[in-house]
Amino acid sequence: MRGDATRGLILVRVSMDAVTSGTGHAPVDGGTDAARPRTFHIRTFGCQMNEHDSERLAGALVADGLVGTDDMESADVVVFNTCCIRENADNKFYGHLGNLKALRESRPDMQIAVGGCLAQMDKEKIQERAGHVDVVFGTHNLTSAPELLRRAATDGPLMEILDEPVPFGEPTAADQQTAALAAVRDLPYAAWVTIQMGCDNSCAYCIVPAVRGPEVSRPVDDLVAEVTELSRRGVTEVTLLGQNVNSYGRDITRRSPLFGDLLRAVGAVEGIRRIRFTSPHPKDLRPEVIEAMADTPEVCNHLHLPLQSGSDPILAAMRRGYTAERYLDRLAAARDAVDDLAVTTDLIVGFPGESEDDFERTLEVAAEAEFDSAYTFVFSPRPGTRAASMVDRFLPVSVTAERMERLRAVVERSALRRHRARVGRIEEVVVEGPSKREPSVTTGRTGQNKLVHFVAPAGRVIPSGSFALVAVTDAARHHLTGDLVEVTARPSYRVRIPVSAG
Ligand code: SF4
């Protein structure tokens, strides 16, 4: 199946009757005005993977002659890059899509495209709910979007969804590398790099394997070439993205994962000073990866290791493939090997059938793990997942809300304790820019991924991407505060082109 890139292609020509009456599309090659290039606006929902997909999509549209704009209302092409992982993301998306109906009707030359996870899963529903959409594309053919938009301008609405990713080695897979290199990145000094698409696991609550397909790793040489090019453009920090980065390369070698080797290879790229990655799966966190983290100074001393639950029966029902004891053992091994390691996690409250005992075990494991912070979620069923069918074991909202408060208290206690332990230290930060709430305050991020607010001397603007030393003077649950000691390195990037997120 994987060797045949054309199998599984659904190409649907949507009836013109479904679109607004009597509208022809202006030619996309010349634009509506010969002197003005067509503009695009991308609205992104969901995770970092989606945000980076939008950067690659922006690069493909720019290569096709379009120009990005922050103003959705005036854009000639509006693309929604959708998410179905979080419940609110799809509600928000359909709201935005509905709001554009009148605008689309008043501007016959405008085009609307919908891509990403929700498009992959919900294709018929999008057609039903939004006849004003011109193009629907899935997670595996993002780079086809410019061509689909061009074809839709003359042929009418189109939908193209591939059932599976195009394997590397297929001619069209080369598009992935081209798209990665051409991506219009949100930040000039830090970049996401997708190392792997899809997931081979089957966690009961997760829709990712259904919408992103099986794991497909990008070749090491392509990734090193991409990071080298990013460094040449002034990027000093990369975040390696995958659904399960620890199993990176398993599909290439058929033997052992290559993630440790990849960390070392990326660390050897001149100019790269910080490497982050997300997310590793606890069951696949092997000693070689911990060793590579410890041996590669560019790898940040931060590990995001999703626990999800501290109860073994619940972990089994979730199909996570580890026990709480195994999780804690691996965490201890990572903390022993990597100096001054910060650990963050994801936790789900109220998975179907979670008893009070199960939940208390989660509180105990969270307390023992001493997390620096945690993303805590109340279970919400995603249609199409195994957990969504466990209706008879769903918990009442009153129970999950109360448990969530108790869990937050435990996590925030350890976060505050760990943050207070930083007071008095000198931390190296990468400057992000003025604080959103208080522009006179500058924010930066430590290697442990902690946000630090500090005040620069009056009138001094420190460019984002600079490296600086900050003396930490105070700590809160979600950030540190401090005083600037000195700026140690200025950024070397040149251009910044924003891509908006929803
Ligand atoms: Fe989903 Fe589990 Fe794969 Fe993560 S590891 S993407 S939770 S199936």
d(CA 283, CA 5): 31
CA of 498 to the centre of ligand 1 (A): 30
Do 452 and 443 form a contact (C-beta atoms < 8 A)? yes
In this prediction, residue 327 carries a pLDDT of 98
Q: Are strands 216-217 and 302-304 parallel, antiparallel or unpaired?
A: unpaired
CA dihedral 16, 21, 25, 26 (to 10 degrees): 160
User: Separation of 315 CA from ligand 1 center, angstroms?
Assistant: 13
Q: Which two tokens stand for residue 440?
A: 């006179």
Collapsing DSSP to helix, strand or coil, 101 comes out as: helix
- Judged by DSSP in three states, 36 sits in strand
Instruction: Using DSSP, state whether 42 is helix, strand or coil.
Output: strand
pTM: 0.85
Hey, what are 127's tokens?
Answer: 């057609």
Mean pLDDT by runs of 10 across the 502 residues of the chain is 33 35 33 72 88 91 92 94 74 83 89 89 77 88 89 90 66 61 85 92 92 89 95 96 93 80 97 96 94 98 98 98 98 98 98 98 98 96 92 97 98 98 98 88 97 87 95 97 96 61 44
Q: Which residue has the CA at smallest separation from atom 6 of ligand 1?
A: 243
Residue nearest to atom 1 of ligand 1 (CA): 206
C-alpha of residue 199 to centroid of ligand 1, in Å: 6
Tell me how far the alpha carbon of residue 210 lies from the centroid of ligand 1, in angstroms: 10
Helices (H), 312-461: 312-318, 324-337, 356-369, 397-420
- Ligand 1 center–CA 37 separation, angstroms: 41
Pocket test for ligand 1, best of 244, 248, 278, 379 (most atoms within 8 A of CB): 244
Q: 128 CA distance to ligand 1 centroid (A)?
A: 29
CA–CA gap between residue 212 and residue 148 (Å, rounded)? 20
In this structure, the residue with its CA closest to atom 4 of ligand 1 is: 243
Given ligand 1 and candidates 207, 208, 347, which is best to mutate, with the most ligand atoms within 8 Å of its CB? 208
Ligand 1 atom index nearest CA of 319: 2
Q: Which residues of 324-351 are buried (b: 16+ CB within 10 A; e: fewer)?
A: beebbebbeebbeebeebbbbbebbbbb
Mutate to test the pocket of ligand 1, among 117, 194, 197, 199 (most ligand atoms within 8 A of CB): 199
Q: Can you give the pLDDT at residue 29?
A: 39
Give residue ranges with CB within 6 A of ligand 1. 199, 201, 203, 206, 208-209, 243-244, 281
Could you please report the per-residue DSSP string of 61-94?
A: HHHTT-EE-S-TTT-SEEEEEE--SSHHHHHHHH
Q: Which atom of ligand 1 is nearest to the CA of 243?
A: 6
CB count within 10 Å of CB 164 equals 18
Q: 158, 13 in Cβ contact below 8 A? A: yes
According to the model, what pLDDT value does residue 24 have? 30
Show Cβ contacts of residue 31 under 8 Å, excluding neighbours closer than 6 positions: 37, 38, 76
Centre of ligand 1 to C-alpha 202, Å, is 7
Can you spell out the DSSP letters for 258-316?
Answer: -HHHHHHHHHTSTT--EEEEE---GGG--HHHHHHHHH-TTB-SEEE---B-S-HHHHH
